[in-house]
Amino acid sequence: MPGKKEWDVYFYTDHSNWGTPREWDDSNVAAMVTVPVSKLKNTQESFTMAINEINMDGAHLQIMWANTMVAVPFSVPTKAKTEASIDKVMAGPSANDYYSAASFYLDADKDLEKAHEWITKATVLSPKAFWMFRKKSLIEAKLGNTSAAIASAKQSLALATAAGNADYVKMNKDSLKEWGVKM
């Protein structure tokens, strides 16, 4: 809502209408901020919105039209997110990190011994993750270690059954049959 000295800038959750909603509903206002008006040196012929004054902690949403501009400052948690990410990496890989790396190596037909090492670490860190034991069985089968693949598939089958995951139950049963286990 423009004014001579300041604007009220509304952030509205219902964006199904271009421009101002036909029927204003205060319950759809997610946020409202009052900001001072600045005069532009050059005329802005088209209504323009831009994100400027960007820094690590935030930026300004600038709204410009004619010779007027308002800037809505906002912040972002860049430092906190980055520090959390650094802490996670420095603490060492998670089960999901090992699982992702092993999955990539299996899919890319890379060093399967390394993939097996990583998936084993993943299953140690997440001993109830039936999908990880499933991946472990596939890596072991591709390595030619059928007895280990069968043991891992049976572990995955038991965990998937307990979790009620019918898809993994079926996949494990199919693999076990393929590897010669009578079901």
* 29-55 sheet: strands from edge to edge: 6-12, 29-55, 58-75
Q: Quote the DSSP letter at residue 78.
A: H
Amino acid 124: pLDDT: 98
pLDDT tens-digit map of 8-58: 999 999 888 777 788 889 999 999 999 999 999 999 999 999 999 999 999
Q: Cα(first)–Cα(last) distance of the chain, in Å?
A: 71
pLDDT > 80? residue 91: yes
Gap between the Cα atoms of 91 and 97, Å rounded: 12
Task: HSE, CB side, 13 Å, CA atoms: give it for residue 140.
Answer: 21
DSSP SS3 for 181: coil
Amino acid 18: pLDDT: 77
- How, if at all, do strands 58-75 and 29-55 pair? antiparallel
- Identify the H or E element spanning 147: helix 146-163
Cβ atoms < 10 Å from Cβ of 104: 12
pLDDT > 80? residue 63: yes
Tokens of 106: 């299996």
- Kindly report the pTM of this predicted structure: 0.59
